[in-house]
């Protein structure tokens, strides 16, 4: 009897497939039913014909829910929904508000980051993410108001993937305002930014990281080792661009040589990696230490003086003013 129940549960589970919560953005009506899984059962959460705009999505994010489920028969409608949603969001002639477009674009990149970070040895997923980030970078360069709108989206669940999107946005913006705009692979810098914390699982100790002065020795060791472990996860993946690997391994370094894991000096770092390191330090204060943009920049500028190039900090400050974040 027990075996029969297990087989029945397995059969029911086989009727569903997981999808990313981050991909369900905007006011577009969904052509499928979306379910949450509770105690092994699939409970209808959003009915076909509804949308994930507004409070419904916020509730999911506050619960730190990463995946929902659809029936396997709805995989094609779900894929079509994603394509229609992202194409409409990138359409500069769209009549939709930039805030709504930015929400869709941000969610799409976040979902791609989560998918790749779960399976970094999958070349197809990497290639797809790389192609998508090219379009994302062009959007950021061509519509700065879109970049501002993405940064206005609060990282309510202290998500690593949301943090990655923010770092990508600000890194491209800082690079654009310095002398790095031309001749540099900004899309690869954005890709590295998106997945730079590929081995950092905050679910185990993010509260300790948020209060870094009280971090346990074990948590501190794990945290300081995550760039190296991230590189280890990519061993054997010859398809990953060297710029992306550099960002994963060096994003916690600084120009003073007091960063980790290797304590690199400025001359040993790629200039684009230094941009990412600067922005990463800033958004980390926002996302995981719950500082306001003004407090975070003040901390970076005064308390961490000499760790990051003055020109990068000035560019960041100007951008925050332009984006009306400070």
Question: For residue 12, is pLDDT > 70?
Answer: no
pLDDT of residue 201: 66
Across residues 148-168, what is the average pLDDT?
A: 94
Across residues 160-169, what is the average pLDDT?
A: 96
Question: For residue 137, is pLDDT > 60?
Answer: yes
Identify the domain containing residue 144 by its residue range. Answer: 91-322
**Cα–Cα distance, 84 to 28 (Å, whole number):** 9
246 and 119 in a common domain: yes
214 and 72 in a common domain: no
Give the whole-number percent of the chain exceeding pLDDT 70: 92
**Cα–Cα distance, 88 to 111 (Å, whole number):** 17
pLDDT of residue 14: 73
* Beta-bridge partner residues of 37: 42
**Cα–Cα distance, 284 to 298 (Å, whole number):** 14
Contact 311, 278 (CB under 8 A): no
The answer to whether residue 287 sits within a structural domain is yes
Question: For residue 4, is pLDDT > 50?
Answer: no
- Please state the length of the chain: 326
* Mean pLDDT for the chain overall: 89
Question: For residue 215, is pLDDT > 80?
Answer: no
Summarize pLDDT for 183-193 with one digit per residue, the tens. Answer: 789 999 999 99
Lowest mean pLDDT among 1-5, 33-37, 46-50, 224-228: 1-5
Summarize pLDDT for 249-280 with one digit per residue, the tens. Answer: 999 999 999 999 999 999 999 999 999 999 99
Nearest residue to 20 via CA among 129, 135, 114: 114
Question: For residue 234, is pLDDT > 80?
Answer: yes
Lowest mean pLDDT among 5-14, 145-154, 210-219: 5-14
Lowest mean pLDDT among 26-30, 66-70, 120-124, 217-221: 217-221
**Cα–Cα distance, 120 to 49 (Å, whole number):** 34
pLDDT of residue 267: 95
The answer to whether residue 181 sits within a structural domain is yes
Summarize pLDDT for 277-306 with one digit per residue, the tens. Answer: 999 999 999 998 889 999 999 999 999 889
228 CB-contact burial (10 Å; exposed 0-12 / middle 13-18 / buried 19+): middle
185 and 281 in a common domain: yes
Across residues 121-136, what is the average pLDDT?
A: 96
pLDDT of residue 156: 86
Query: For the whole prediction, is pTM greater than 0.75?
Result: yes
The answer to whether residue 82 sits within a structural domain is no
**Cα–Cα distance, 25 to 162 (Å, whole number):** 13
**Cα–Cα distance, 22 to 17 (Å, whole number):** 15
73 and 95 in a common domain: no
Across residues 221-230, what is the average pLDDT?
A: 90
Tell me the H-state helices in 39-156: 55-62, 75-90, 98-118, 123-142, 144-151
**If pLDDT is split at 50, 70 and 90, which confidence band does 200 have?**
confident
185 and 266 in a common domain: yes
Summarize pLDDT for 53-68 with one digit per residue, the tens. Answer: 878 777 887 788 889 9
**Cα–Cα distance, 168 to 37 (Å, whole number):** 32
pLDDT of residue 202: 52
Q: How far is CA 263 from CA 246, 292, 307, in A?
A: 14, 29, 12
Domains in the chain, number: 2
Which of 37, 54, 77 is a domain's end point?
77
Summarize pLDDT for 67-122 with one digit per residue, the tens. Answer: 999 999 999 999 999 999 999 999 999 999 999 999 999 999 999 999 999 999 99
Q: How far is CA 298 from CA 85, 130, 213, 266, 317, in A?
A: 38, 34, 18, 22, 10
pLDDT of residue 209: 52
Question: For residue 6, is pLDDT > 50?
Answer: no
User: Which residues touch 296 (CB under 8 Å, ≥6 apart)?
Assistant: 282, 283, 285, 286, 289
Which of 77, 101, 130 is a domain's end point?
77
Give the whole-number percent of the chain exceeding pLDDT 90: 75
pLDDT of residue 203: 46
Contact 175, 189 (CB under 8 A): yes
Which of 47, 77, 107 is a domain's end point?
77
The answer to whether residue 85 sits within a structural domain is no
**If pLDDT is split at 50, 70 and 90, which confidence band does 204 have?**
very low
Contact 202, 171 (CB under 8 A): no
CATH number for 188? 1.10.3210.10
């Amino acid at each position: 009897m027990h075996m029969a129940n297990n087989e029945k549960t397995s059969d029911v589970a086989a009727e569903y497939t997981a999808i990313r919560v981050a991909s369900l953005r905007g006011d577009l009506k969904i052509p499928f039913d979306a379910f949450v899984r509770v105690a092994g059962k699939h409970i209808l959460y959003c009915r076909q014909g509804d949308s994930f705009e507004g409070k419904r999505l916020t509730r999911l994010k506050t619960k730190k829910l990463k995946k929902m489920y659809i029936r396997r028969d709805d995989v094609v409608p779900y894929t079509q929904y994603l394509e229609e949603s992202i194409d409409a969001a990138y359409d500069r002639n769209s009549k939709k508000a930039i805030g709504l477009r930015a929400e869709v674009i941000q969610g799409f990149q976040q979902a791609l980051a989560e998918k790749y970070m779960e399976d970094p040895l999958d070349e197809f997923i990497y290639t797809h993410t790389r192609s998508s980030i090219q379009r994302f970078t062009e959007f950021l360069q061509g519509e700065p108001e879109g970049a501002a709108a993405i940064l206005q989206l609060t990282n309510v669940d202290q998500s690593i993937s949301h943090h990655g999107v923010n770092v990508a946005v600000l890194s491209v913006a800082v690079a654009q305002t310095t002398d790095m705009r031309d001749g540099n692979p900004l899309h690869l810098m954005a890709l590295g930014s998106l997945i730079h914390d590929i081995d950092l699982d905050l679910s185990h100790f993010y509260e300790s990281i948020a209060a870094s002065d009280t971090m346990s020795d074990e948590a501190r060791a794990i945290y300081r080792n995550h760039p190296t472990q991230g590189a280890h996860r990519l061993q054997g993946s010859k398809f990953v661009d060297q710029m992306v690997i550099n960002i994963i391994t060096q994003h916690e370094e600084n120009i003073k040589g007091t960063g980790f894991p290797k304590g690199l000096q400025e001359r040993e770092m790629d200039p684009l990696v230094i941009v990412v390191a600067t922005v990463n330090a800033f958004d980390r204060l926002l996302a995981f230490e719950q500082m306001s943009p003004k407090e975070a920049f003040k901390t970076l500028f005064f308390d961490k003086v000499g760790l990051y190039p003055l020109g990068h900090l000035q560019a960041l400050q100007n951008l925050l003013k332009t984006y009306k974040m400070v």
